Amino acid sequence: MFNSEFYINNRQKVASNMKDNSFYFWHSGSEVESSDDECFAFQPYRNFVYLTGLRVPDALLVITKLNNKVSELLFMHIPTARENMYTGASFDEEKLKKDTGINDIKDEKTFDDFISRLMFGNDVQDAYMDMAKWRIYYPYNKECELADRLKKAYPFLNIHNMYSKACKYRTIKSKEEIEAHRKACKITEEAVKKMLLNMKPGMKECEIEAYYDFVLKSYGLKYPAFSTIAAAGPRACTLHYVDNNIETRDGEMILFDLGAHWDLYAADVSRTYPVNGKYTPRQKELYNCVLKGLNAALALSKPGQKKNELQLISKKVMAEELIKIGKINKIEEIDQYYFHGSGHFIGLNTHDVGDDPDMVLCEDMVFTLEPGLYFKDEGIGIRIEDTILITRDGCEVLSGGIPKDVDEIEAFMKGGRA
Ligand SMILES: [Mn+2]
């Protein structure tokens, strides 16, 4: 986690937009059972992390503004002796205060009593929630649950959903957030290079992936930022292939879409490499169509540029290249080979918040560009994706150290071969 100043500053931004006599509520999320006596790896609610730095389940942050005085409270699950015995979980109030900059820390069991007293003793008219708008069939989250209870108990209360506004703050990255992205990209680079130097035809996709995982774990990362795609040969045409369990063959390419994270800030990178270290002339020809599409978008990535147009320029350039090599005759025909978006914001979430169709790029935004072409008819799928930081007058490709030019890739892979 970052220095507490970062979180204090973020909370101040949020509090400055609250009306007087109101409160704002966030929940860190709860663990989800995966099978008997096991839970999935816990994923904290990212706006909660942005405001506290904490990554624990069942914690609550409340900001109150009463008579124009802002107060911050943290409600924490306090482990029982038995929990401590099993998981080692402990509760260190002083450390929590220091890490978060929040001085008022309470047991989460007292939360209902706190809300009752808050409502009873003050003229609170407005409550702010941070209700992510998930799909209707997603499990009921704690924000919605509390909103429901509040509405029943205090029907006069105006409940505002601040999710979109709260997420806007996250689209411009601070210095420490940019450094975290940079580190995530560096780890990813080291991990991809490790795979490149070790992969050989005949290895299973996941066997190659294991070299990547090894590097991540050596940095203490138990999991990557998202499930790795390692898709060789025709499987690269399946956009979200994650089985990664088939043997690679000589002469095939393998498409990787992967990323490490640092302090939860993600890298998201795609590369398509020849398993045996050398592209065939046809693979090289098609690969360069995608690379030119990416480079055209990179050249335009700077403050003031409409983000959506980057997608169109990649597509146009790839179509022109496909016409040149005789794969298609008309620009529109590219739709059969290119059918996904070409990039997204990235941050605490790999697919981060903040995307809107009219978004204009600003300094310190971080996002990805990921053009691809998928030729089912030739059993070839290619995607090249970089994680990019917008700078004052252009962009910095944070993942630029991961080989992506054909010559560079072949020379690098040769280094690992006898
Ligand atoms: Mn990706």
Domain 175-414 belongs to what topology? Answer: Creatine Amidinohydrolase (3.90.230)
Ligand 1 centre distance from Cα of residue 98 (Å):
36
Model pLDDT for residues 247-302, shown as the tens digit of each residue? 999 999 999 999 999 999 999 999 999 999 999 999 999 999 999 999 999 999 99
d(CA 382, CA 365): 26
d(CA 96, CA 33): 27
Name the percent of the chain lying above pLDDT 90. 81
pLDDT of residue 357: 72
Amino acid letter at 39?
Answer: C
Residue of 417, 384, 185, 408 whose CA lies nearest to 298: 384
* pLDDT level of residue 139 (50, 70, 90 thresholds): low
Ligand 1 centre distance from Cα of residue 372 (Å):
11
Ligand 1 centre distance from Cα of residue 259 (Å):
7
Give me the residues paired with residue 62 across strands: 25, 73
Residue 173 sits at the vertex; the CA angle it makes with 257 and 292, to the nearest 5 degrees, is 40
Domain 4-169 belongs to what topology? Answer: Creatine Amidinohydrolase; Chain A, domain 1 (3.40.350)
d(CA 193, CA 252): 18
Other residues' Cβ atoms within 10 Å of the Cβ of residue 366: 28
Residue of 371, 350, 7 whose CA lies nearest to 181: 350
Q: Would you list the domain boundaries of the chain?
A: 4-169, 175-414
pTM: 0.94
Look up residue 21 and give its two tokens: 């006599």
Other residues' Cβ atoms within 10 Å of the Cβ of residue 203: 19
Ligand 1 centre distance from Cα of residue 37 (Å):
32
Which DSSP symbol is given to 348?
A: S
Ligand 1 centre distance from Cα of residue 199 (Å):
21
Which DSSP symbol is given to 272?
A: E
Residue 400 sits at the vertex; the CA angle it makes with 316 and 225, to the nearest 5 degrees, is 95
Q: Which residues contact 397 (CB under 8 A, 6 or more apart)?
A: 298, 386, 387, 388
Name the percent of the chain lying above pLDDT 70. 97
Ligand 1 centre distance from Cα of residue 248 (Å):
21
pLDDT of residue 246: 96
- Contact yes or no for 222/41 (Cβ under 8 A): yes
The bridge status of strand 269-274 relative to strand 253-258 is antiparallel
Ligand 1 centre distance from Cα of residue 303 (Å):
23
Ligand 1 centre distance from Cα of residue 387 (Å):
9
- Contact yes or no for 285/24 (Cβ under 8 A): no
Model pLDDT for residues 91-112, shown as the tens digit of each residue? 899 999 999 999 999 999 999 9
Q: Which helix (H) or strand (E) holds 189?
A: helix 175-198
Ligand 1 centre distance from Cα of residue 300 (Å):
20
